Structure 1
Amino acid sequence: MEKRELTEEQKEELFNVLKERFEKNMHRHEGLDWNQIQQKLEANPMKLWSLHEMEKTEGEPDVIGFDEKTGEYLFCDCSKESPKGRRSLCYDREALEARKKHKPENSAMDMAKEMGIEILTEEQYRELQKLEPFDTKTSSWIKTPADIRERGGALFCDYRYGHVFVYHNGADSYYSSRGFRGLLKV
């Protein structure tokens, strides 16, 4: 099992990257204070580890909001295109096991779980796209409703022609231009 603890050097480096990204992209989180966010992260080492995993897979996580009800900051992958380190994945474990030939290395749902993050829902994906355009050349798996998944399908989204499009594919499919975006609540 992978060690889920960051060294002091890794923490410092991650905080520097996150703070710089936060300050460069204030339109994503107007009215929020980085110092309060960092304090919350310092008190939650597992969440910090998850952010490190998001960064390591080129998700470029950033704060996209604050949930007043739960008191949680919302981090999401804000890389312009679907994170490079999370592409070429089928949707879930069932789909991965169903493939007889040319299996991908992992599934989106399994990888998200391993990282301690959630795959975006369609609603969350649409909200993210209100901040700025993402996935203009790639696509991202989204959480698929059970009735669609039971029939062998899975959903993904992208942004083209000024609109968010939701599509379907076999859950066992995978493409070099399709990954997934994650959400982390801290």
Structure 2
Amino acid sequence: MTSSQQINDKSLSPEQREDLLNALKTRFEKNMHRHEGMEWEDVQAKLEASGGKLWSLSEMERTGGEPDVVQYDEKTGEYTYVDCSAESPKGRRSVCYDREALESRKKHKPETSAVDLAVSMGIELLTEDQYRELQKLEAFDKKTSSWVQTPDDIRGLGGALFCDYRFGNVFVYHNGADSYYAARGFRGALKV
């Protein structure tokens, strides 16, 4: 296998696959309030039938997202995994919003952007609505904040949205899309 094949290989070894499934199962069983009425066996069957999605989940796990199932869509038969780490995933912080924002910075550019990193992982940034739904399950981002998908009209003016949880409430803020902070990352979602 050439080095470029290794970089582009989005598969897991049998050991990595087993470790990931065990971690997901343990988290699922410890946090039943996030997915009442769902059974792990059904989720696992769906995961095992979706090989490429396991790689994306492993990337969510590797970057500190602690992904867990938060929704089941009866119409599509899809489960939605979302980053459920207490704070914005540590391995995805200090990023500006998107590629345009990254390229507009003249000095002190971050390594990447939230949108680019999400795409490379095969996931999507949460929408504001998804973020608010997640906060109904438990309080997240009490010390950090997370970029969320930003409407085109706001992004067209150079801004981007982020959210956090303070004083018992979800707050939505705006910032220049090119800004980045050590305490701001992003949460992702993946449908399986």
Same fold (TM over 0.5): yes
The residue number in structure 2 matching 1:154 is: 160
Separation (CA, whole Å) in 2 of partners of 1:144 and 1:69: 27
Specify the code of the residue in structure 1 equivalent to 2:117: M
Runs of 4+ in 1 over 6 A off after TM superposition: none
Find 1:68's aligned residue among 63, 66, 74: 74
Other-structure match for 1:125: 131
Matched, 1:139 2:138: no
Q: CA deviation at 1:124?
A: 0.4
Tell me the number of residue pairs that the alignment of Structure 1 and Structure 2 aligns. 186
Q: Which of 93, 108, 120 does residue 87 from structure 1 map onto?
A: 93
Q: Quick one: distance in 1 between partners of 2:186 and 2:10?
A: 21
- Provide the rounded CA distance (Å) in 1 between the counterparts of 2:27 and 2:8: 27
Q: Tell me if 1:101 matches 2:111.
A: no
1:183 has 2:189 as partner = yes
> TM-score normalized by structure 2?
0.96
Query: What is the RMSD computed on CA atoms of the aligned residues?
Result: 0.5
State how far apart, in whole Å, the 2-side matches of 1:82 and 1:147 are. Answer: 25
Q: TM-score, normalised by structure 1?
A: 0.99
- Mapping of residues 43-62 of structure 1, within 5 Å: 43-62=49-68
Distance between the aligned counterparts of 2:8 and 2:174, measured in 1?
A: 33
- Measured against aligned partners, the alpha-carbon deviations of 1:109-135 in whole angstroms (never above 9, x if no partner) come to 000000000100000000000000000
Measure the CA separation in 2 of the matches of 1:101 and 1:79.
31
| Matching of residue 173 in structure 1 with residue 169 in structure 2 | no
In the other structure, the counterpart of 2:3 is: none
Gaps of 5+ in 2: 1-6
1:3-58 Cα deviation digits (max 9, x unpaired): 10000000000011000000000000001011111111111111000000000000
CA distance in 2, matches of 1:35, 1:48: 16
SS in 1 for 2:190: strand
- Looking at structure 2, the residues matched to 181 and 17 of structure 1 have their Cα atoms a distance apart, in angstroms, of 19
Match of 1:11 among 1, 17, 31: 17
5+ residue gaps, structure 1, are: none
Distance 1:28 1:84 in 2: 22
% identical aligned pairs: 72
Distance 1:6 1:102 in 2: 35
State how far apart, in whole Å, the 2-side matches of 1:110 and 1:68 are.
30
Alignment match of 1:114 (pick from 117, 120, 125): 120
**How far off is 1:70 after superposition?**
1.2
Matched residue SS, 2:170: strand
SS of the residue corresponding to residue 124 of structure 1 reads helix
Deviation at 1:2, TM superposition (A): 3.0
State the Cα deviation string for residues 49-68 of structure 1 (Å, max 9, x = none).
00000000000000001012
